Amino acid sequence: MSITGPTPPNRFKQRLATGEQQIGLWTVLANGYTAEILAGCGYDWLLIDAEHGPNDLRSVLEQLQGIAAAATVLGGRAAELSQPVVRLPHGDPALIKQYLEIGVRNLLVPMVDTAQQAAELVRAVRYPPRGQRGMGSGLGRSSRWGRWTDYVLTSDDNVCLLVQVETRTALDNIEAIAATDGVDGVLLGPADLAADMGYPEQRTHPEVIAAIDRGVETLRRIGTPAGIMLTDIAAAQEWLRRGVAFAGVGVDSTLLIRAADDLLTRFRQQTPAAEAVGTY
């Protein structure tokens, strides 16, 4: 007998709406095995990066499955799992539809500069008559092939749309972007913003910090959750103190490199020179 039932609520979206701060980790290694390992670490969310990481529809699916599988390690305690967020390479409605159908419920779309762009993205994630998403969920993992019997009816409550503000134009329009009905959160991108302001690779330039601060304050004033991605621990903690609701605080590839480098450095410093142990 087929097991059917209601669609489980999107905990990431729920917690975002209540203002609860959530700590995330960026994953760019594009591997389901890695995603399953990271899902058990305790981060509130994992960002699967299909913009700058070597990901496509199938590799993202593999990682979604890996994250879901981690629940078995936790004794079925799915509530303790990291929630997957997928950053798309762009906001094409056809691409959005495909990612939604493989079960993505939290989408991050980069380079959103205007409220019109934001409104078009909202239409892409919503079913008619409020949007333009095609009625194909019964064929896909999104509704667990029809086993989540109310998927279409509850989709607006469970699909979370995050947009990235990464340019001066976007900052000028941030209030209108954030006020767009259906936008659940806005992530400010320090790296691209710094470059657009004329300070490439200077994310901590005073003008860049001031611009981000204005953006965060605007979002707080109108009640839209603000997010940020930084690998500097002190800086991330400071932005959380200033009211950022969701923060990416590390990248899996960087963590791997640092740990491997640190381990090798310890042995290089402690191991006697090659001639001392004998070379022939």
Give catalytic residue positions: 52
Q: How far apart are CA 265 and CA 195, in angstroms?
A: 33
The answer to whether residues 183 and 122 touch, using CB atoms and an 8 Å cutoff, is yes
DSSP state of 80: G
Dist. CA 107–CA 87, nearest whole Å: 6
Decide if 280 contacts 263 (C-beta within 8 A).
Answer: no
DSSP 168-233: HHHHHTHHHHHTSTT--EEEE-HHHHHHHTT-TT-TT-HHHHHHHHHHHHHHHHHT--EEEE---H
Q: How far apart are CA 227 and CA 47, in angstroms?
A: 12
Distance CA 132, CA 149 (A): 21
- Residue count of the chain: 280
What type of residue is 164? Q
- C-alpha torsion 101→174→233→250, nearest 10: 20
Report DSSP state, residue 243: T
* Torsions phi, psi for 9 (to 5 deg): -70, 150
3-class DSSP state of 126: coil
